[in-house]
């Protein structure tokens, strides 16, 4: 990424081709979803997963926000598909920010995604313990 291009190649690629954008296929029955943010505040994201026996079969997202948010949601869905539901609790926002060269003034978008993942983890595990 040049100093003049606000988006690195990973962001551009995931923004242009968000393979995980949309809704879960209807065939899945054990599904959970969670949402964080508000459009009025510039960012909103919904995460959805389908699981079986504690393993994530599929993840999808819907997002309203900047390219970094959309790319981050895509990255997260790609990363956790096939992993255990428990792995959601080990999300590391800083690694994602580094991968996507998220500018510091947009770090709130990634923290919003972290909120959504935390809520999704709770929904998927029935964990009602406050963070």
Partner 1 sequence: MTRADSRAIVYLDNAATTRVDPLVAAAMSACLGDDRAFANAASIHLAGRAAAQRVERAREQLAALLNVRARDLIWTSGATESDNLAITGAARFRANRGRHLITMPTEHKAVTDTFKALEREEFEVSWLKPASDGVLSLADIDAAVRPDTQLVSIMHVNNETGVMQDIAAIGECCRRHDILFHTDAAQSVGKLAIDLSALPVDLLSLTAHKFHGPQGIGALYIADRPGCQVQPILFGGSQERRLRPGTLPVHLIVGAGEAAELAHDSSERDYRHLGMLRDRLWQGIAGLSGLQRNGSEEHAFPGILNVSVAGVEGESLMLAIEPVCVASGSACNSRSGESSYVLRALGRSDSEAQSAIRFSFGRDTSTADVDSGAQRYVSAVNHLRSIAPDAV
Between CA 116 and CA 112 the distance in angstroms is: 6
- Which residue stretch of 18-26, 51-59, 81-89, 93-101 sits at the interface with partner 1 (rule: CB under 8 A)? 18-26
18 lies in the site for partner 1, by CB under 8 A: yes
**Of 5-13, 78-86, 92-100, 118-126: span binding partner 1 (CB under 8 A):** 5-13
117 is a site residue for partner 1 (CB under 8 A): no
Among candidates 120, 73, 70, which has minimal Cα distance to 93? 73
Strand partners, 62: 46
CA nearest neighbour of 6 among 103, 108, 106: 103
Please report whether residue 1 would count as binding partner 1 according to CB under 8 A.
yes
Q: Which of 29, 39, 53, 104 binds partner 1 (CB under 8 A)?
A: 39
């Amino acid at each position: 990424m040049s100093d003049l291009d606000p988006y690195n190649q990973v962001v551009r690629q995931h923004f242009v081709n968000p393979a995980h954008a949309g809704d879960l296929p209807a065939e899945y029955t054990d599904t959970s979803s969670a949402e964080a943010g508000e459009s009025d505040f510039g960012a909103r994201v919904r995460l959805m997963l389908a699981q079986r026996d504690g393993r994530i079969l599929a993840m999808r997202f819907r997002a309203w926000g900047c390219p970094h948010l959309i790319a981050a949601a895509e990255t997260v869905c790609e990363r956790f598909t096939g992993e255990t539901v428990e792995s959601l609790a080990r999300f590391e926002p800083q690694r994602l920010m580094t991968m996507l060269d998220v500018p510091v003034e947009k770090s709130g978008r990634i923290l919003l995604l972290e909120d959504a993942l935390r809520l999704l983890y709770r929904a998927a595990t029935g964990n009602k313990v406050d963070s």
